[in-house]
Structure 1
């Protein structure tokens, strides 16, 4: 770099002695130099810098070169020493101080040539080092790679990079003499997988001779044939090396370059090293393939790892265990790709560290499998064999469990060989027979025959048994005898009988249980015949004592009144002389009874439950009680005792339940019989009532109705005498008339005059009138109050007396006195006699009203009402003027529509009426005053009038008093009528009363006939028209206003009104 063109030309001339490969390029500025370095740094071998530069930045320029990583020498041609020093300090390789001496340029050329030589040497050294590193890299890859193809591809690529070749091809020689491109890199990889290896080519000749070849220029070389389709841009130089020895030739590697003389002898040596490594890789691959075939045929899982724990080999069994394909796991670190394999890591690492084979067992969760693992280490890695031992371990565990089970089983188990000698026994066999195992093993069955005899008396039963079940009596070491059951089965292995296996089971308890169970069964059958509780309880105690042997037994029954268990016998039940004590309401026996479960209970020696017994069985007998039994002293009951007592208690409970059920059944039969008798009696009463109802309908008068009822009653089977009386006539002077008495002879009928007005009968009559309820004397013979009348009862055949009131609307119309022959005649009548009294009462009331209409005997009553409860009274006080009621129309909800007249101002009446009535309306006004319609709530006055069958004639109210005028039937007591009004309107007083009697048909009779002819709506319509002044002239109301009163349309109202008028006219004229 110099801005002096002559300097550049002189330097170029001075360097002409170098070979033609050296070219001088001249740039004038640092910027141009930097651009040149960036574009062609690899081709630049030395920089010559003329200093100082125009900008004086030569030091900066030098530092920038090395900062960019450009490793070339820099020679400075300095104008002076100071400039040279700055350049050297910045990193320049060498310098020359220029002056006018002609030799200076030659000296500079020498310095440049020396720098070029040193640079070339350094670069050559670096290339050799890089080539050695690549050889090592490919060698390592050949040892660790999973497959050969990846190794070959890697080798081709790295050789091309190191030699800066245009292409690298690796050929594999085939058995038929042809060649296959195994790997290629560079432009040859795109030409049908590299250059062809045809006959006479450099690659083929190298393969055949085994000698490496180098060609500097294919155009000048005549040794080999070259590809004709390479073209002008094809390879110009190349080299090749054989892969494998003469006996194991595998292939050849060929390298090509686009420049002539691109490769050196050192490069050939490098290529031969690569060929040697590839040859070793191919041999290793072939050996590995053969080994893989062997390992693939193994049932064991086999894996190989390198020193970094990368997977180098897995066989198919290992693939299955890993759940991954070989391609997925090869080359990966086993701990990363299969985390579950960490369970083997400790043992693997220990084997690698010690470089010693390792054998161990390990459970693998992923496959739920146990493996026996054998690991063989080397410096380069680890080979591991996994053997599945899960089934083997399971068999071992089963065998161990079976052995422990035989050792723990309570039954004696033994095995005999095919000659009848003992081959094995468990500990229970030793305990049962008292024979030591060492003595038994190898001995014949005769050893046991000495101590065992069959229950049928045969001494050879044990020895002669080959299979089946035999019971034996076995003498034990303590000189006792136990009953055992020998169950022997042939032992067959592979279809051949090799001996037998037997079990000796102690059945002593079962034998005893069966014997006692048979005894209990016999006693239970005897108990089934017991007919009362005491017999069952005595049999239970006897059965307990017999079954349990020396047992002591007590029975406790549950006392519901005392809520405790009481000892049977304490109350003299005949089960023995036992002390009387308080009932049990706590403790173990009580707890067993409450829970309903059979329990073994510990008692204090002096507890007083069972004498001399401290541990008892408490067996509940359901709701009846508990059976307590036990052996004397501290002997504890065993399981058999508990089971037998449990069965016995269940039987006793069932028998007691049966006895109670039979008693309850007998009681139910008795009740049913009584109910049948009562139903029969009720049926007769019902028949009598039906006859009475028919007679009441036909009776034209009240007197005939009373007589009809009495006659039907006395005709009933249970009633001897019946007589009746009017309720209003009952007082201290009352005497029943002879025609009122039915069923009695003349003498007793006359005597009734005295009986009815004296005690104890007269108080019954008064009570019936006052309470309006039936009065009964259940049995005259047993009642002290009727002692003086026992003679009459015996003479006339009656035992019970009933006074039946005939009640209608809470008023007693009449009384019927019935003398019955049966003391239970009036018991459980299910209210029929009361209903009869009400039926008769309403019938008499209706008959009385009819009589009153026919005879017209009524009483005119005028009453001054007290208080201010009446709505009309309150209205008169509020308006301050007189108010009169013209009439009322009752509604179904209890309210009434009242038509009221007054000479007060209409507005005042309407205003005052709003606080009294739910609705008020001014109908009309004329000379006589104003007419108003009021809807009033329920009024007690109108209900009293209806209940007394009274007819309202007038109701006038002033601000100071209210006067009522009404007609009351003569049979209604005026005093009772006034009292009824006074109860609702306190201060009511009677002003006057007058009795009227008219034999001709009265207006009341005519009105009753019309009322019967009209419908309810027709009656309401014509009465409303009358009360509202519809028929006056001029009319005080219209059809429209009256229709509003009933919330109906005017045409509908006129329809009902015309129908009522038509019936009225027809009744008058027809």
Structure 2
């Protein structure tokens, strides 16, 4: 079969859809033809277009997107016999397309229903009026269409449905009614007139035709006429009810025809003087310009006009009502000066009422809301209209509102005119807002009164007061903690043992008004253990938190403030033990012992951790920034006191632990080796105020060359200074930014007996008190020199009582700055002759001015000489 034959067959098949129907000239939609052919809509549309081009079918657009098709009528000489017979037996079918065109072009909406009340045709007006798609409407049951789509478009669906469905149940009468279509996505709001009647003959006999006419403009005109008629009636009623107003009449030419006595008094003119005279002549334009213009406008338009004008001669506001007629114009004038004054006052009141930020509420005697401004909704989230006529118990609890009213009644009976009430409102979002209400009352009539409440959101004021109170509490606590810090500083300085120092610190903290209790534990970071030592203000608490458990530092409870403080070396706080998630393991103890905030303060001095102070307060946020900074020095003060006590004990003891180390090639990691025959010895280390250190010693020239090259390699070596001498070895000064071994050992209560190079190795001998943890010293040495070898550890007798006493005096009687000045001067060669370092050079090393250095030096010399020469003889003991 050729392609042309295939096309012919498909077109014939498509024509068959129309020919098989009862009438081939009844319009079908594209979808109906597509369904009958069982092919795609695109294919169906192409076939129908070809048939239309051939003249076999005719087509017409329906609605905005639809199109219908019908079999083209055939002439008597063409087509089949069946077509000829159809044309002869049903001549009206040929006119249907023409009728459809006419109805579509008419400004009406039409439904044509068959005997089953299915839609067989709908005009474009249906789509325009009801927002329906005409193509999809055809073929649907009108009753289902009514329920599923039409009723959504009308304003009174129940009444509309009842009326229309009644015509289907009894399809014997014509129906007529009006309905209003609401605005929608594809339709505008409009009024329609429904007219329907049964179809009594023809192909759709037993069906019904429904026509909708757009009567929107007619309805609008009727309403305007009704309003105009009502306005005229109101004007007439007012004119007759207020006959005591000034009334005058003008004839058709604008001449005075009548004045009543009130008008004569108002114009201060006798009627006989003005009757017959034009109004423009009696009242110049500057006296009644608005009134004259209103009269001319009313006469020209033949409609009533109302005007208001300030009447200069009387210095009063007048209101005029002008009523034109065929014979002239009647004018009624009323004195409205008092009303104008009240309106101005009302406008001012309404402006204040509507624009003030505070909510203004008017209540009746029983507390029911009468009126409220827009700020009420801003405050509560509810429009005030929701509560008019009732008590706003969703906003203010009923009991609270009744209590407030009772309080106001008692206050006013006691002679007060304004009452302030604090309360709380619940917003629509469920938030609670504190408010302050200033309530007064007024009497709109003699026997009843109303309450006026000016309601203000005082959240900001409350928060400000709370901030002030918290600030006051913080300042009080800060003063208290500063006092405690001073007290601790005074208390621990003269204690003879470490236990006394720790107890004095805890007693000062626990006796303060700011804190509940305090405790101190020792710490062994290497083993991860805290050892309880002292607790004051509480009994048994330290046992409950089990500080001896190694987990408290390293494993299970790493989130606790104590473990964090030891690991970081910084004060750690918990500002709310009841909400801090990391403090959950100890929350039950916070309830039991009544504390809210916790601070863990590490006890440290010169890089050595001696222990931990736990401080507890019953206040939330007790350890905020200022108080935390103030409490921080406590750990350093106690650490300094413990270190000084240990050094003192070491110096006073006749026995010591001597530990000897050997370090082979101490600078090997930097690629340098000290010459085996060179001289290298460290004599003294002086700590400075800014955390830096000065080391003094002697070295041969070849060693100094190595040391000088290491300044750029070793990160904490800042500078090397050599003091020239006539004989070798030379003295040197090494400036360090980190703590050297000598100071670290001293912080543990020991001292370096010797530090020098022997046969190319660096040998270090340390003397420690018998109570010092030797393992900690070994760890410190190996942190600096990982390859350090422990050569010997022995008990020794410390000889030289005079030297011990002198060292004790040097430590106890001189201030730290005096000691630093004296040691730096000595080891830098200031006392040599000639001087190896000037006073300015020593002062620069210390970071102070030259006069300051000399002042510290003289005071140190005077103190030591007084101890040696004045207080007691120099004898051994």
TM interval, short-chain normalised: 0.3 to 0.5
Bigger Rg, which one: 1
Instruction: Give TM-score scaled by structure 2 length.
Output: 0.44
Instruction: Give TM-score scaled by structure 1 length.
Output: 0.37
